[in-house]
């Protein structure tokens, strides 16, 4: 009876250690007396109970991430870590870099057995590689054009170092989240951007001035030329008109010069005299003086004789 | 009673057997001590036996270990203070030596820190700040790794690699860098702005020049065309009027009278003028 209870207890104690589940995103790694024996795919599996066989089930499909220069809190806030994020560039400037490294387990056996604290290793390796790369770059490169290249280079170098340690880790991505000038000098960097915009603006304004002035001047040019041409045409046409009129009159005049001449004279006088003030004098010239009018602009007709 | 004795004996056997067996994991090595004296070194995983109570087992990791050394302040060849934060990747290669010299990982790490500190100091002291940040970073790390590895071997440790994580500048140098960065950016900003002014002024000047030229050309053309008109007009008149200058001057005078002698003109007429000659003697 007593023996029976002990056997039952032993069974209860041992039984749970004889099977295990591997979840879909996991891989089972079984060791027999501490020695690697087999891997297991997802599902239910049996093994000898502890201490003969042990199983570990690392999540090999899960993509893990580490953050350098900041920590994202579960609530989504970003806590910066200046110690990590500030680094020296090759031209002895300082940049503020936030990096995210994503990795997953590529070889679960290597991952479990070769490195004691893989996560810490990834972090340290990523940090030393990143600082090495940034240290060989100029600040403007890091801030602008060089980003993509830095990412690629960092990924390769981190991977090759991790391979060298046979860590069983595969780097999925290395992403530069943010590359900024440090806070202490951010304003000066921003001012450079606005200075560049100022430059564009000034050039645009000048161009605008040019676009306003030149067409106007061309218009003015055309206006003046047109005006002059109009003047020329007018002048010529009028002269031609005058001449035509003169010639017609001359044709008729030639037929009877004396009569026509007299007639034109008299007609002219008839036309102009009625509106004028007139003073008549006898043929004795001395009579002029006493009646010299005091009104302005006396005009003496040019008598044709 | 007999049954109970059997059970007790059974339990004792289980205890004895279980305390005389031990497994060494793939990630471990082990040293078997007999009354504190090293008896056996195990580096391969598997099931092993020992004499219970008399023999003890110490386990050591065979994995790669990653040790963060505290930041060390070192002085570069060009006499600049630098805080160097490094880490080392190492493993226990000779468990017995390790046990004898540093006992455990913590002990080993503090030894490693000391070794790294002195190696870094020596090595950094032969380079300028600029080189440490840029080109010679890798060679420095390599050199320190090699030296540290030699020193560490007496503790049963292999230093796989020493890597510099951060090279931080002391605050006063960092500040002077910030100042330099600021003035450099200010210079660039100034450059952009004055380049903008330069361009804009050039464009405006060019524009003004072109406008002035256009205006002058317009004047030139205007005078040319007007002159042409005047000239043609003179020619037309002259050709026609030459036919009879006398009649021309007469008729032109008549036209001029009509146009110029206006209402408020006062005229003195002599009665012997042509117009009035019939007034006295019809």
Q: What's the sign of the alpha-carbon dihedral A273, A276, A281, A285?
A: negative
CA distance A139 to chain B (A): 10
Q: How far apart are CA B83 and CA B170, in angstroms?
A: 7
User: How confident is the model over B128-170, as pLDDT tens digits?
Assistant: 887 777 667 788 888 999 999 999 999 999 999 999 888 877 7
Predicted confidence (pLDDT) at residue A294 exceeds the cutoff of 50: no
Residues of chain A with Cβ-Cβ distance to B247 below 8 Å are: 250, 253, 257, 261
Which residue in B150, B109, B110, B142 sits closest to B123, CA to CA?
A: B142
Average pLDDT (A67-85) is 86
Which residues of chain A does B224 touch, with a Cβ-Cβ cutoff of 8 Å? 228
Contacts of A117 in chain B (CB under 8 A): 65-66
Q: Round to whole Å and give the CA distance between B133 and B146.
A: 20
Structure confidence at residue A30 (pLDDT): 92
Mean pLDDT over B60-68 rounds to 92
Q: Average pLDDT in the B25-49 region?
A: 90
Q: What is the pLDDT of residues A83-108, one digit of tens each?
A: 888 888 888 889 999 999 999 999 99
Q: Is A175 exposed, middle or buried (0-12, 13-18, 19+ CB in 10 A)?
A: middle
Q: Which tens digit of pLDDT belongs to each residue from A241-290?
A: 988 988 888 888 888 888 888 888 888 888 887 777 777 766 555 444 44
In whole angstroms, what is the distance from residue A264 CA to residue A253 CA?
10
Query: Nearest-CA distance from B100 to chain A in Å?
Result: 22
Contacts of B62 (CB under 8 A, 6+ apart): B26, B27, B28, B29, B43, B91, B92
In 3D space, the residue among B82, B79, B86 whose CA is nearest the CA of residue B168 turns out to be B82
Is residue A250 within 8 Å of residue A261, measured between CB atoms?
Answer: no
| CB atoms A113 and B229 under 8 Å | no
| Chain B interface disruption, residue of A214, A235, A275, most B CBs within 10 A | A235
Q: Tell me the pLDDT tens digit for each residue of B244-263.
A: 888 888 888 888 888 877 66
Give the bridge partners for B163, in sequence order: B87
Beta-carbon separation of B185 and A231 below 8 A: no
Distance CA B117, CA B85 (A): 10
pLDDT: is A120 or A51 the higher one?
A120
Query: What residue spans define the domains of chain B?
Result: 17-60, 65-174
- The whole-number pLDDT of residue B252 equals 83
Q: Inter-chain contact B258–A266, Cβ cutoff 8 Å? A: no
Q: Provide φ and ψ at A287, rounded to 5°.
A: -70, 0
Contact partners, residue B183, CB within 8 Å, separation at least 6 = none
> Mutate which of B270, B273, B276, B281 to test chain A, going by most A C-beta atoms within 10 A?
B270
Establish if A13 touches chain B: CB-CB under 8 angstroms. no
Within a 13 Å sphere around the CA of B247, how many CA atoms are in the beta-carbon half?
A: 24
Question: What is the rounded distance in angstroms from the CA atom of residue A111 to the CA atom of residue A64?
Answer: 13
* Class for the domain spanning A64-181: alpha beta
Nearest CA to A268 out of B280, B248, B259 is that of B259
Reduced to 3 states, what is the DSSP secondary structure of residue B87?
strand
Q: Are A220 and B213 in contact (CB under 8 A)?
A: no
Q: Does B231 touch chain A (CB under 8 A)?
A: no
B65-174 belongs to which homologous superfamily?
Band 7 domain (3.30.479.30)
Cβ pair A303:B274 closer than 8 A: yes
The per-residue pLDDT for A213 is: 92
Are the Cβ atoms of B25 and A217 closer than 8 angstroms?
A: no
Q: How confident is the model at residue A211 (pLDDT cuts 50, 70, 90)?
A: very high
Residues of B in contact with A137 (CB under 8 A): none
Report pLDDT for A304: 40
- Interface mutation vs chain A, best among B137, B237, B245, B268, most A CBs within 10 Å: B268
Say how far residue A122 (Cα) sits from the centre of its chain.
37
CA distance B234 to B230: 6
| Cβ count within 10 A of residue B1 | 5
Kindly tell me the burial class for residue A112, based on how many C-beta atoms sit within 10 Å of its own C-beta (0-12, 13-18, 19 or more): buried
This prediction has a pTM of 0.71
Q: Name the residue with higher pLDDT: B173 or A133.
A: A133
Other CB atoms within a 10 A radius of the CB of residue A122 amount to 24
CA distance B175 to chain A (A): 9
Question: B256: which strand partners?
Answer: none
| The pLDDT of residue A284 | 54
- Please tell me the predicted confidence (pLDDT) of residue B1: 63
Q: Would the CB atoms of B229 and A192 count as touching at under 8 Å? A: no
Looking at per-residue pLDDT, the higher value among A56 and A278 belongs to A56
| Residue ranges of E strands in chain B | 21-24, 28-34, 37-42, 46-49, 55-61, 65-68, 72-75, 81-92, 157-168, 266-270
pLDDT at residue B271, rounded to an integer: 66
- pLDDT at residue B82, as a whole number: 84
Domain ranges within chain A, ordered by starting residue: 2-56, 64-181
Task: Report the residue from A2, A243, A283 with minimal CB separation from B236.
Answer: A243
């Amino acid at each position: 009876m007593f023996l029976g209870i002990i056997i039952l207890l032993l069974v209860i104690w041992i039984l749970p250690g004889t099977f295990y589940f591997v979840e879909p995103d996991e891989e089972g790694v079984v060791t027999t007396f501490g020695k690697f024996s087999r891997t297991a795919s997802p599902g239910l599996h049996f093994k000898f109970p502890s201490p003969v066989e042990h199983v570990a089930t690392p999540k090999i499909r899960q993509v893990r991430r580490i953050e350098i220069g900041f920590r994202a809190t579960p609530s989504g806030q970003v806590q910066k870590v200046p110690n990590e994020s500030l680094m020296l560039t090759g031209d002895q400037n300082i940049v503020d870099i936030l990096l995210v490294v994503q990795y997953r387990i590529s070889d679960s056996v290597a991952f479990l057995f070769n490195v004691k604290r893989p996560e810490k290793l990834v972090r340290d390796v990523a940090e030393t590689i990143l600082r090495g790369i940034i240290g060989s770059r100029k600040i403007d490169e890091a801030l602008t054009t060089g980003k993509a290249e830095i990412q690629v280079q960092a990924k390769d170098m981190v991977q090759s170092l991790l391979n060298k340690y046979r860590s069983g880790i595969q780097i999925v991505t290395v992403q530069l989240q943010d590359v900024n000038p440090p806070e202490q000098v951010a304003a000066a960097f921003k001012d450079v951007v606005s200075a560049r915009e100022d430059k564009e603006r000034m050039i645009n304004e000048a161009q605008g001035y040019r676009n306003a002035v030149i067409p106007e001047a061309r218009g003015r040019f055309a206006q003046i030329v047109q005006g002059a041409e109009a003047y020329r045409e007018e002048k010529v046409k009028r002269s031609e008109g005058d001449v035509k009129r003169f010639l017609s009159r001359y044709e008729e005049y030639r037929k009877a010069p004396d009569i026509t001449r007299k007639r034109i004279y008299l007609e002219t006088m008839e036309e102009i005299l009625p509106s004028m003030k007139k003073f008549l004098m006898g043929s004795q010239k001395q009579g002029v003086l006493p009646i010299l009018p005091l009104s302005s602009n006396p005009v003496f007709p040019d008598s044709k004789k | 009673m007999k049954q109970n004795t059997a059970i007790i004996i059974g339990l004792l056997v289980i205890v004895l057997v279980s305390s005389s067996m031990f497994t060494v994991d793939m990630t471990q090595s082990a040293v078997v001590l007999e009354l504190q004296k090293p008896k056996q070194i195990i580096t391969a995983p598997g099931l092993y036996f020992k004499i219970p109570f008399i023999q003890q087992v110490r386990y050591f990791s065979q994995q790669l270990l990653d040790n963060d050394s505290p930041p060390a302040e070192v002085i570069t060849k060009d006499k600049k203070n630098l805080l160097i934060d490094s880490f080392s990747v190492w493993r226990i290669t000779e468990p017995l030596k390790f046990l004898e010299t540093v006992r455990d990982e913590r002990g080993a790490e503090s030894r490693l820190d000391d070794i790294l500190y002195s190696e870094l100091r020596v090595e950094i002291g032969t380079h300028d700040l600029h080189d440490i940040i840029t080109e010679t970073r890798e060679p420095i790390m390599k050199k320190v790794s090699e030296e540290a590895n030699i020193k560490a071997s007496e503790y049963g440790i292999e230093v796989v690699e020493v890597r510099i994580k951060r090279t931080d500048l002391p605050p006063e140098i960092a500040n002077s860098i910030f100042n330099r960065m600021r003035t450099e950016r200010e210079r660039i900003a100034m450059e952009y702005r004055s380049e903008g002014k330069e361009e804009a002024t050039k464009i405006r000047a060019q524009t003004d020049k072109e406008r002035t030229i256009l205006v002058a050309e317009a004047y030139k053309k205007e005078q040319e065309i007007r002159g042409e008109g005047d000239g043609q007009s003179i020619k037309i008149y002259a050709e026609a009027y030459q036919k009879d200058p006398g009649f021309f001057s007469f008729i032109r005078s008549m036209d001029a009278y009509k146009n110029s002698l206006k209402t408020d003109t006062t005229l003195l007429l002599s009665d012997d003028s042509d117009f009035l000659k019939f007034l006295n003697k019809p």
